[in-house]
A and B are shown apart, each in its own frame.
Chain A
Amino acid sequence: MDIDLITNILYATIRTGTPLILVAFGEMVCEKSGVLNLGQEGMMLMGAVVGFAAAVVTGSLMLAILMAIIAGVCMSLLFGFLSITLVSNQVASGLALTIFGGGLSAFIGANYVGVGIEGVPPLVIPFLSDIPVIGKAFFAQDPLVYFSFFMGGLLFFVLTRTRLGLKLRAVGENPEAANSMGIHVHGIRYMAVMFGGAMAGLAGGYLSLAYTPLWSDGMTAGKGWIALALVVFASWKVGRIMLGAYLFGIASIMHLILQGTGFEISPSILAMLPYVATIFVLVLLSSNQSKAKLNAPMSLGVAYRPQL
Chain B
Amino acid sequence: MFKLEKRPFDSKTMSYCSPVIALCLTLFFGGLLFLSLGHNPFEALYTFFILPLSDAYGLTELGMKVAPLLLCAMGLSICFKAKIWNIGAEGQFIMGGLGGGFMALQFLDAQSSWVLVPILLFGALCGLAWAALAALLKTKFNANEILTTIMLNYIALNALLWAVHGPLKDPEGFNFPESAKFADAAILPLLHEDYRLTIAIFFGLFAMVAIWTLLSRSWLGFQINVLGEDKAAAHYAGFKENKLVWFALLTCGALAGLAGVSEVAGPIGQLIPYISPGYGYSAIIVVFLGRMHPLGILLASMLMGLTYMGGEMVQIEMSLPKSITGLFQGMLLFFLLASDLLISYRIVKSKKDQNDNPAAVSSAA
Q: Which among B151, B325, B327 is the interface contact of A100 at CB below 8 angstroms?
A: B327
Q: Contact flags (1/0) for A222-253 with B, using CB distance below 8 Å? A: 10011011001000000000000000000000
Cβ of B293 within 8 Å of any chain A Cβ, yes or no, is no
- Interface contact A104-B327, CB-CB below 8 Å: yes
A contact face: mostly helix, strand, loop, or mixed: helix
Asked whether A99 and B281 contact (CB < 8 A) given A229-B147, A269-B162, A286-B143, the answer is yes
Of B64-72, B107-115, B334-342, the one touching chain A: B334-342
Of B188-196, B215-223, B357-365, the one touching chain A: B357-365
- Interface contact B330-A271, CB-CB below 8 Å: no
- Interface contact B137-A283, CB-CB below 8 Å: yes
Of B95-103, B153-161, B239-247, the one touching chain A: B153-161
Cβ of B302 within 8 Å of any chain A Cβ, yes or no, is no
- A residues near B60, Cβ cutoff 8 Å: none
Cβ of A178 within 8 Å of any chain B Cβ, yes or no, is no
- B residues near A93, Cβ cutoff 8 Å: 337
Asked whether A272 and B155 contact (CB < 8 A) given A103-B328, A266-B166, the answer is yes
- A residues near B324, Cβ cutoff 8 Å: 103, 107
- Interface contact B144-A282, CB-CB below 8 Å: yes
B76 to chain A, nearest CB (A): 12
CA distance A271 to B157 in the complex (A): 10
- Interface contact A88-B338, CB-CB below 8 Å: yes
CA distance A88 to B343 in the complex (A): 11
CA distance A78 to B331 in the complex (A): 11
CA distance A276 to B151 in the complex (A): 7
Q: Which among A38, A82, A266, A275 is the interface contact of B165 at CB below 8 angstroms?
A: A266
Segment 299-356 of B: residues with Cβ below 8 Å from A: 321, 323-331, 333-334, 337-338, 340-341, 345
- Interface contact B137-A106, CB-CB below 8 Å: no
Asked whether A95 and B334 contact (CB < 8 A) given A225-B150, A279-B148, A289-B142, the answer is no
Cβ of B87 within 8 Å of any chain A Cβ, yes or no, is yes
Nearest B residue (CB) for A217:
B323
Q: Which among A88, A222, A305 is the interface contact of B337 at CB below 8 angstroms?
A: A88
Nearest B residue (CB) for A106:
B323
- A residues near B341, Cβ cutoff 8 Å: 86-88
- A residues near B338, Cβ cutoff 8 Å: 81-82, 86, 88
B280 to chain A, nearest CB (A): 11
Nearest B residue (CB) for A270:
B158
B249 to chain A, nearest CB (A): 15
- Interface contact A96-B154, CB-CB below 8 Å: no
Cβ of B279 within 8 Å of any chain A Cβ, yes or no, is no
Cβ of B49 within 8 Å of any chain A Cβ, yes or no, is no
CA distance A101 to B146 in the complex (A): 18
Cβ of B73 within 8 Å of any chain A Cβ, yes or no, is no
Q: Write 14 A-B pairs (CB below 8 A) sorted by A numbering.
A: A91-B146, A103-B325, A104-B326, A104-B330, A107-B321, A107-B323, A110-B323, A111-B321, A225-B150, A232-B147, A266-B166, A268-B165, A275-B154, A306-B362
Nearest 8 A/B pairs, CB to CB: A103-B326, A100-B330, A110-B321, A106-B323, A268-B162, A103-B327, A282-B143, A275-B151
